[in-house]
Structures are given as structure tokens and as C-alpha cells.
Structure 1
Amino acid sequence: MINFNTKKRSSLITTSMLAVSLGVASLATHAALPINSTAPSFTANAALAGKDFSFSLDKALKKGPVVLYFFPVAFSSGCTLEAHAFAEASDSFNAKGATVYGITAGNVEKIKEFSAQECRNKFAIIADPGAKIAKEYDSLMVGKDKLLSNRTSYVITPDHKVLMSYTDSNPEMHIHKTMDAVTEWQKIKK
């Protein structure tokens, strides 16, 4: 019989070895903030439709749930694909009372251009220089020469609770997972 601690330690070692063997260096192997935990408040520079503004999570949550998705680097193929998908789904999220925000620690100097071109002026991109916010949200990975945001999506309710968290380097399921969580939240609120 294997006790829980041995099983957990074995799983952590296996996950770490897999990450190393795949060439993925990660500071956190456990994914993200847990469900029902409190999402940390933050303010940061952001851009929407190529225009700068100051983002506040507290202010955004006053309007309804927030879909906050972390991505590694603007204009990379996966991040561009994910931005297009969130742009296409933005109206559906808005109809359910939720607002989408992307956040990146990679090439933050390009968020204005990325918000207009790849996000198609549909949602804002938040700059996270030095990956400080990513660290608070357990969404941190090591890039070639700096800390980056891991591809993690959250749905945060107006009372700052994490309703959903999902980490996967493949950008394709993030839309489905966040939309399902927002849909369930909307049903409960009615």
C-alpha cells in the first residue's frame, strides 16, 4: 500500500522529470491558483485597441466575472491563435456578463500593437513586466532568458474567488474551459 505522501512525492518527481525531459523549465509544477481561492488584486498598464490605460482587477470585477488568461509572448504562433479565439468569443463572454483580459510577461512593449492587431480591438492586454503578477497567480515559467507567463486561464467571480483555473501549453481548450465556467456561473446567479 502506498501512502498519500509517497504517491504525491512520486507524482511531483515524475512531473518534474517529464518537464526537464521535454525541455520545459517551470518554477511551479502544480499549475495554478486553486478553485475557491482568493484572486490577488493588482493594477497594471494595459492596452485596448492600441490605446494605453491603467487596469485594476478590483474595478473590472465590479462589472462582473473576469476571464484572465496568461500567455507567454505576444505574436508567437500559439499566443496569436489564442488571442484570435478569445477575440471571436468576446461578444459571447460579454453577453454572459464576463469580460476577457489577456496578460503577458513576455515582450510587454508590444501589447498596444497586439491588442489592436491580434486581439482585434475586442479585449485588453495587460503588461506584466518581470512576471510579478504571474508569480502571484502561480502562472510562471522560465523562458530562454527571462521569466514568462505560463499559459493559464482563470475565471474570477466578482467576490474575487477563483471559479476556474486551467493550465495547458496548448491554447485550444482555454476558450472552452473558460466559457463553460462562465456559463455555469451565470446559471447559478439566475
Structure 2
Amino acid sequence: MSQRLVTGAHAPDFTLRNATGEEVTLSSFRGSSVIVYFYPAAATPGCTTEACDFRDSLSSLGAAGYTVLGISPDPVGKLAAFSEKESLTFPLLSDEDHAVAEAYGAWGEKKNYGKTYEGLIRSTVVVDAEGRVAVAQYNVRATGHVAKLRRDLGIDR
């Protein structure tokens, strides 16, 4: 199982492709705060709920100085279809080999319907303007997570 990040640690830099195939690098956001959230699979019920909650909160998150990046092991084409269908206006990034998820502690053992397997653990890491972890939340629930994160960050609607 990969090591989970802790508050104050340096957030591992990464470069991943977005839904249009362009490269996005975390360090290019230095100087502002970034919410990096990991979700298991585009277009599934829980992941759609979470993505739409981020979409609907994007204005207030942006006003508070946060950029949102969603990361999943889905290929770019699936991210493009998901982004278009749900009118998502923030970058979705493809981590097909789950190397970034592993570096962030968001890949590991999961249990579902009595089966144990390796997979993506729904997680959110807030990276501050200096590139350090400000918040690290693991095994979050899709429903209500964004509202809780907003409360934790002190962001009103």
C-alpha cells in the first residue's frame, strides 16, 4: 500500500494529460492553492456526484483562491466524454498507470462486496501555494465530501 501524505509534507509534483490531451503539471500552479481529488472511475454514480459537486462549487472555491484538479485512472477519451456530458469546467487528468495516485497514497487495498483488491481510494489533497500538503483526506465519501471540504477550508457558498 502506498504511503499517505501528511500535512506539511511536500506534495509530489506530476505531469498528466487532461481530457483534451494537453499536459498539466502541478508545479505550474505554484503561488496558488490546488485541490487535487482522486476518484475511481468517470461516469459512475459516486464519481459523477462528486465531480458535479466540485463543478457547482467551483466559483466559490476559485474566489477563495483554489484551483480544482480531478485525477482518475481513466484514459483521456473517457475523461473527455465525462467532462462534456457533465459540463465540467475544471481539468480531469488521466493517471492510467496510477503512479500519481500511488505517490499521493490514493492507491491501495480496497474491499467491496466481500472482495479485496488493489484500486484507487477516493481521496483529496489540498496543496498550498508553496507546494506543501495543507489537507489530506482519504477514504472520503462521494456524497457530501465537497461540502465537508468547504467547511474544513472555511469557505462559504
Give the TM-score normalised by structure 2.
0.84
Residues 107 and 141 (structure 1 numbering): CA distance in 2 closer, same or farther, change over 3 Å?
Answer: farther
Residues 169 and 89 (structure 1 numbering): CA distance in 2 closer, same or farther, change over 3 Å?
Answer: same
Larger radius of gyration: 1
- Structure 2 regions of 5+ residues with no counterpart? none
Which protein is richer in helix relative to its size? Answer: 1
Identity of aligned residues (%): 27
Give the structure 1 partner of residue 9 of structure 2.
37
Tell me whether 1:58 sits opposite 2:32 in the alignment.
no
Residues 114 and 147 (structure 1 numbering): CA distance in 2 closer, same or farther, change over 3 Å?
Answer: farther
Once the two structures are TM-superposed, the CA of residue 173 in structure 1 deviates from its matched residue by 3.6
Once the two structures are TM-superposed, the CA of residue 169 in structure 1 deviates from its matched residue by 4.6
Bigger RCO (CA 8 Å, 6+ sep): 2
Give the structure 1 partner of residue 101 of structure 2.
134
Which protein is richer in strand relative to its size? Answer: 2
Question: SS in structure 1 opposite 2:97?
Answer: helix
Give the TM-score normalised by structure 1.
0.71
Give the structure 2 partner of residue 125 of structure 1.
92
CA distance in 1, matches of 2:139, 2:63: 26
- Among 23, 30, 39, the alignment partner of 1:71 is 39
Moved segments of 4+, more than 4 Å: none
- Structure 1 regions of 5+ residues with no counterpart? 1-26, 185-190
State the number of aligned residues.
Answer: 150
CA distance in 1, matches of 2:135, 2:36: 10
CA distance in 2, matches of 1:164, 1:140: 17
User: RMSD in angstroms over aligned alpha carbons?
Assistant: 2.3
- Among 142, 145, 150, the alignment partner of 1:171 is 142
